[in-house]
């Protein structure tokens, strides 16, 4: 199954790789135009945007040709906190998940003939106690 997924990914990669330079230029121009509206004074943000988008393209290319499935998951409000795949910025927080501020990112690979999920990035969550009034 994953070999088929990898073969399809490589086919897609070969088709779209030649268009990535022009697509990147359009993305950078669009991001720059919109972000300049949010800045208090004009700044040269193009080099940083190009570096960020280059990294995103490199990651997308690697994921497209890799022999695994990638999964992104937001943690639902009301879920029990699980430190195996969730992160809380302030360790003093308690209670159930109130809000997921960044999703969990994992990939499925085959290990010993069985599908196994490997956590790549923990979900960042805020727990109920962060929204209670403090004395």
User: Which residues of the chain are modeled with pLDDT < 70?
Assistant: 1-3, 5-6, 133-135
17-55 pLDDT, tens per residue?
Answer: 888 889 899 999 999 999 999 999 989 999 999 999 998
Q: What is the pTM of this model?
A: 0.59
**Positions of E strands within 29-134:** 69-73, 86-87, 97-102, 104-111, 114-121, 123-127
Sequence-distant (6+) residues with CB within 8 A of 75 are 86, 97, 100, 103, 104, 123, 125
Cα separation, 21 vs 4, whole angstroms:
27
């Amino acid at each position: 199954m994953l070999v088929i997924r990898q073969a399809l990914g490589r086919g897609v990669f070969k088709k779209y790789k030649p268009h990535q330079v022009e697509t990147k230029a359009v993305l950078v121009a669009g991001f720059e135009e919109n972000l300049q509206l949010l800045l208090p004074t004009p700044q040269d943000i193009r080099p940083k945007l190009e570096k960020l988008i280059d990294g995103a393209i490199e990651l997308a290319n690697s994921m497209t040709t890799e022999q695994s499935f990638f999964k992104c998951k937001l943690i639902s409000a009301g879920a029990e906190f699980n430190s195996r795949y969730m992160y809380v910025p302030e360790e003093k927080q308690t209670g159930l998940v109130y809000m997921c501020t960044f999703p969990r990112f994992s990939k499925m690979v085959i290990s010993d003939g069985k599908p196994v999920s490997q956590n790549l990035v923990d979900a960042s969550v805020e727990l109920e106690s962060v929204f209670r009034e403090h004395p």
